[in-house]
Structure 1
Amino acid sequence: MPLSPDQIAEIDAARATPRQTLRAVSEGMEAHLYRAQEVLDHGFIRVIDYMGDDAAIVQAARVSYGAGTKHVSNDEGLIRYLMRHWHSTPFEMCEIKLHVKLPVFVARQWIRHRTANVNEYSARYSILDREFYIPAPDQLAAQSTVNNQGRGAVLQGEEAARVLEILKRDAGQAFDSYESMLSQEGQQGLARELARMNLPMNTYTQWYWKTDLHNLFHFLRLRADAHAQYEIRVYAEAIAACVKDWVPLAFAAFEDYRMGGVTLSAKAIDCVKRMLNGEKVTQETSGMSKGEWREFQVVLG
């Protein structure tokens, strides 16, 4: 069960005692507040708090840019203008705080986004739960033969069973050793801060993660992308669903310009112009490297 009984009771109590407020409220986000969305086999994300909405972005932009945006006649148009022209500070006026439960190896990938405030569950003070991430069979894949940091074909039959058994066995044995080393029940043992060092990377941890919308969009652009590792991508997708309800106008602009858009180099734009003029452009005449040309061809479809 991703949530402990104490956590469930805490959430139920918080939702049972709503309070009146004068601050900006997003009805879409209110529906997500405190509710846990399960991710992977034991993980979850849940919104603890948020600040601002689409109107907060517009309000901040009109203070910042004043007369420069008077030609934009509505909030949606202004937000799209800001996204299109890479104005970041208005989006920083919105913030979100999440409670996330995730495997340690996902947390170490996630923490590379250094633009958030993070407070992680401490295994120096508390004893970790016996919970590990074990991939579903369709996520047991071999190393990609074309991508050094990606997955290839899904393992089948006996090979899949062999790998799955190793994952389960090693995680169980490591946690047995962790528990046997702890100073408890009259045994001197090891301090918690030392006993934890043998635990595997698929052990679950938890943290509070607070960031602003601009940096959250950057996180989502990278981690909700189809090329991101599956285990972090599913967390990003769960967060994206909340953000879509929280700031629908900003999220629509983000999907259009960031997730669905592309950035072309000066050489690529020159090639497009030459193609539109009827010129046959090749990799050799484009001025691009083979890798750039290959990516350009993908963009052109």
Structure 2
Amino acid sequence: MTETEPRFRSDVTVELVKHNASDRDVLWAARVSTAGEQSLDELQKDPERSKGLINYLMRDRHGSPFEHNSMTFFVSAPIFVFREFHRHRVWSYNEESGRYRQLEPVFYVPGTDRNLVQEGRPGQYNFLPGTPEQHKLVTESMEQSYRQSYASYLEMLEAGVAREVARAVLPVGLFSSMYATCNSRALMHFLSLRTKNEDAAVPSFPQREIEMVAEKLEAAWAELMPLTHAAFVANGRVSP
């Protein structure tokens, strides 16, 4: 049964659904240029023996060997996160549809650890924690707005209005879900833009909510391809 009472979340969900990704994939793809069919021998070797090659490819930005792998993630996050996510066009996406199903009343409300106050100019923003009064205002205002918009949505559905029309009243703080598939090169490009890290050669200033997704993506990838991830970090978190 579809829920009707709004629920509020301050977290995101990222799950690795399936994958065909390992450091070996980088090695055989790189070595085909000099070894031809013998490059498949890399599938039987310990990739630790060739971590210098992975680092070389990363350092000198020979990117194509990092494309011969695949990872599919299930992501549940606010719609405004997906609107930024979908700018990464070399990923493949399938998102739930408000045209074909009644959308669940799950909405994003920032946790108390989410900085609220923005200072500075574009590209050099600083974010400050905010006062208890500001956090209270954000929480109460969002929850009130969410309840009202979802009540209007249900009222239209009950009156026979099409789902694709009624959904227009729902805010971007509504949670959606999707499957997102990428290779490691595309993921590294995503991480270079959607995480803020002191080790990064090029500074980035992502919105915190998409960074929350990025951190979970990176943790899953680091387990699958530890040598590639280490080379990415060692070379300034720049996608090759």
Structures share a fold, TM > 0.5? Answer: yes
Q: CA deviation at 1:164?
A: 2.0
TM normalised by structure 2 equals 0.82
* Paired position in structure 1 for 2:201: none
TM normalised by structure 1 equals 0.66
Asked whether the equivalents of residues 143 and 152 of structure 1 are also in contact (C-alpha less than 8 Å), the reply is: yes
Q: Does 1:167 align with 2:138?
A: no
Q: CA deviation at 1:51?
A: 1.1
Residue 181 to residue 150, structure 1, CA distance change in 2 (3 Å): farther
Q: Which runs of 5+ in 1 are unaligned?
A: 5-39, 262-301
Asked whether the equivalents of residues 55 and 75 of structure 1 are also in contact (C-alpha less than 8 Å), the reply is: no
User: Which amino acid in structure 1 is aligned with residue 128 of structure 2?
Assistant: A
Cα deviation per residue 1:172-218 (whole Å; 9 max; x = unaligned)? 11111111111x4xx42x10011101101100001110111111111
Asked whether the equivalents of residues 140 and 160 of structure 1 are also in contact (C-alpha less than 8 Å), the reply is: no
Q: Does 1:105 align with 2:76?
A: no
Paired with 1:144 and 1:65, the residues of 2 have a C-alpha distance of 52
Cα deviation per residue 1:225-267 (whole Å; 9 max; x = unaligned)? 24321111111111111111100110100111132x7xxxxxx
Paired with 1:47 and 1:126, the residues of 2 have a C-alpha distance of 24
Paired with 1:210 and 1:169, the residues of 2 have a C-alpha distance of 35
Residue 148 to residue 208, structure 1, CA distance change in 2 (3 Å): same
Paired with 1:152 and 1:216, the residues of 2 have a C-alpha distance of 26
Other structure's SS at 2:106 match: coil
Q: CA deviation at 1:162?
A: 2.0
Q: Does 1:55 align with 2:24?
A: yes
Residue 42 to residue 181, structure 1, CA distance change in 2 (3 Å): farther
* Paired position in structure 1 for 2:61: 86
Percent of residue pairs identical:
33
Q: CA deviation at 1:42?
A: 5.2
* Paired position in structure 1 for 2:109: 134
Q: Which runs of 5+ in 2 are unaligned?
A: 3-8, 40-47, 198-204
Asked whether the equivalents of residues 78 and 172 of structure 2 are also in contact (C-alpha less than 8 Å), the reply is: yes
Q: Count how many residue pairs are aligned between Structure 1 and Structure 2.
A: 214
Other structure's SS at 1:138 match: coil
Cα deviation per residue 1:253-287 (whole Å; 9 max; x = unaligned)? 0111132x7xxxxxxxxxxxxxxxxxxxxxxxxxx
Other structure's SS at 1:208 match: strand
* Paired position in structure 2 for 1:198: 169
Asked whether the equivalents of residues 42 and 132 of structure 1 are also in contact (C-alpha less than 8 Å), the reply is: no
RMSD, matched Cα: 2.3
Residue 41 to residue 164, structure 1, CA distance change in 2 (3 Å): closer
Asked whether the equivalents of residues 22 and 224 of structure 2 are also in contact (C-alpha less than 8 Å), the reply is: yes
Asked whether the equivalents of residues 141 and 151 of structure 1 are also in contact (C-alpha less than 8 Å), the reply is: no
Q: CA deviation at 1:153?
A: 2.4
Pairing 1:108-187 to 2, within 5 Å after superposition = 108-147=83-122, 150-182=125-157, 184=158, 187=159
* Paired position in structure 1 for 2:218: 240
Cα deviation per residue 1:84-114 (whole Å; 9 max; x = unaligned)? 1111111100110111111000100111111
User: Which amino acid in structure 1 is aligned with residue 224 of structure 2?
Assistant: W
Paired with 1:113 and 1:254, the residues of 2 have a C-alpha distance of 19
Q: CA deviation at 1:150?
A: 3.8
Structure with greater Cα Rg: 1
